[in-house]
Amino acid sequence: MANIAVKDMTSGSPAKLILGFFVPMVFGLLFQQLYNMVDTIIVGNYLGVQALASVGSTGSINFMIIGFCMGVCNGFAIPVAQKFGEKNFTQLRKFAANGAWLAVGFAIVMTTVVCLLCRRILLWMNTPADIIDGAYAYIFVIFLGIPATYLYNMVSGILRSLGDSRTPLYFLVMSSLMNVALDLFTIVVLKMGVAGAAWATVISQAVSGIACLVFMAKQYDVLRMTKEEAAPNGNIMKILCGIGIPMGLQYSITAIGSMVLQVAVNGLGSMAVAAMTAATKISMFFCCPFDALGSTMATYGGQNIGAKRLERLGEGMKAAVLMGIAYSLLALAVLCQFGDRIALLFLDADQVQILGQVKQYLLTNAVFYIPLVLVNVVRFMIQGMGYSKRAVLAGVCEMAARAGVGFLLVPYFGYTAVCFASPFAWIAADLFLVPSYLMIVKRLWKEQGMPAAPVEGKRMQGGWHRLKIFRYGH
């Protein structure tokens, strides 16, 4: 490789490797969330609570569609990580090229379909009449930008599969600054309303995606392909779809539960929608480290499975979970102390009721961040190991929990029930994911003809053996 070194995660200290990959990922996701936060802050301050509710009412459908795009791209990148672990660079390039072909096709089809159905979906979601026009103006533009979403996530996914989590960060930093400037220009100068915020997000993500693509093409020799390697291959596409589509569906299925919950919140009125909008944006920002840990473990799991280094899976899992727990406690402390002040970024100080609801949502969720650690670390490890269909079932568990809260509890307990929806969903997913991970690892050890030995030495005496998630691969 000429100028950029890939990162091999199949040797060396798992904790050190995971931390080195994780930190740039965190900053990358923080800046990605900054797109949405800046939109919300500027909309709330310059366009008012009703406009804020308009943007917020689209959150679940946005998550369902854009989440599918991100999940598919993450899935397409997993065989790339596995082939990198195997050191089979010819196959690596074939998987990367065919993933790109599929991303183009998915982008065209999805953009056409969701743009045509956009308003009908908002009506079905019981979007309040006073905000539906604003909601449509915002989300329609976001959906027009689906190709930009595929571009950035496909390219950045390939780079992360090679162990490079820094390059996507650099271009996200650049584009986030552009997003801020465009938000102010389209909303304050051009008076484009909520549509201006959407255009700012789409344009900024397109720029980051193009910049990432150009950089990758120039700097990564390992990705320079022959015509044969770049040609569409039906068998490879089938493998990619078998991994990518379940990962995309995992996001979308989870989002269906969020949509049901959003319908219930919409029924509580625009003030409740505004409170949930601000709270969700803040919560998503604080949850970025959990997502970063997940993406890190997908790459870590993929490379080590490809290299047949099963003994490293448990140690990596332990390191990631401990990192997640440490951050969970820190986030809880920060939100306890500053949660209401952070909400002032989105709302005026005189909106006392909404501010109280925002803090209630944030603290309720933060108390349950440790189960969220397991959701992300275990799920993405399973996906990286090539068992993405298990993640779909975990998504079903999340969907059922959120939908159950929306259908059964919100009508009786109101906004308080809304605050507990995500914690219930995380716990439901964990009850499925943790046993699944243990079963998969045990199966893989047997396939290699080796017993899955428990942890030995002082760590057993210290109690690590009692937490079964660390039991295999040590």
The 3-class SS string of 393-415 reads HHHHHHHHHHHHHHHHHHHHHCH
Quick check: 265 and 272 in contact, CB under 8 A?
A: yes
Quick check: 273 and 49 in contact, CB under 8 A?
A: no
Q: 444 lies in which domain range?
A: 14-470
In a domain? residue 7: no
- Checking if the pLDDT of 465 tops 70, the result is no
Q: What is the pLDDT of residues 246-262, one digit of tens each?
A: 888 877 777 777 777 87
Compute the distance between CA of residue 222 and CA of residue 124 in angstroms, rounded to an integer. Answer: 48
Cβ burial 270-297 (10 Å sphere, 16+ → b, else e):
bbbbbbbbbbbbbbbebbbbbbbbbbbb
In a domain? residue 132: yes
Percent of the chain with pLDDT over 70: 89
DSSP-derived letter for residue 312 is G
Indicate the number of domains in the chain.
1
Kindly state the tokens that stand for 265.
């919140």
- pTM value is 0.73
In a domain? residue 257: yes
Quick check: 250 and 335 in contact, CB under 8 A?
A: no
In a domain? residue 109: yes
In a domain? residue 182: yes
In a domain? residue 5: no
Quick check: 361 and 283 in contact, CB under 8 A?
A: yes
Q: Which long-range contacts (CB under 8 A, 24 or more apart) does 103-110 make?
A: 103/72, 103/73, 103/76, 103/150, 103/151, 103/154, 104/150, 106/69, 106/72, 106/150, 107/69, 107/146, 107/147, 107/149, 107/150, 107/151, 108/147, 110/65, 110/68, 110/69, 110/146
Distances (CA, A) of 193 to 1, 57, 138, 190: 47, 16, 9, 8
Compute the distance between CA of residue 116 and CA of residue 97 in angstroms, rounded to an integer. Answer: 30
In a domain? residue 159: yes
Q: What is the pLDDT of residues 46-103, one digit of tens each?
A: 888 788 788 877 877 888 888 899 889 988 988 888 888 888 889 999 999 999 999 9
Q: What is the pLDDT of residues 187-219, one digit of tens each?
A: 888 989 889 989 998 998 899 899 889 988 888
Compute the distance between CA of residue 390 and CA of residue 434 in angstroms, rounded to an integer. Answer: 11
In a domain? residue 229: yes
DSSP-derived letter for residue 189 is I
Q: What is the pLDDT of residues 124-158, one digit of tens each?
A: 877 888 888 989 999 999 999 999 999 999 998 89
Q: What is the pLDDT of residues 283-334, one digit of tens each?
A: 888 988 998 898 889 888 888 888 888 888 888 899 999 999 999 999 999 9
Mean pLDDT of the chain: 83
What average pLDDT does range 453-460 have in this prediction? 40
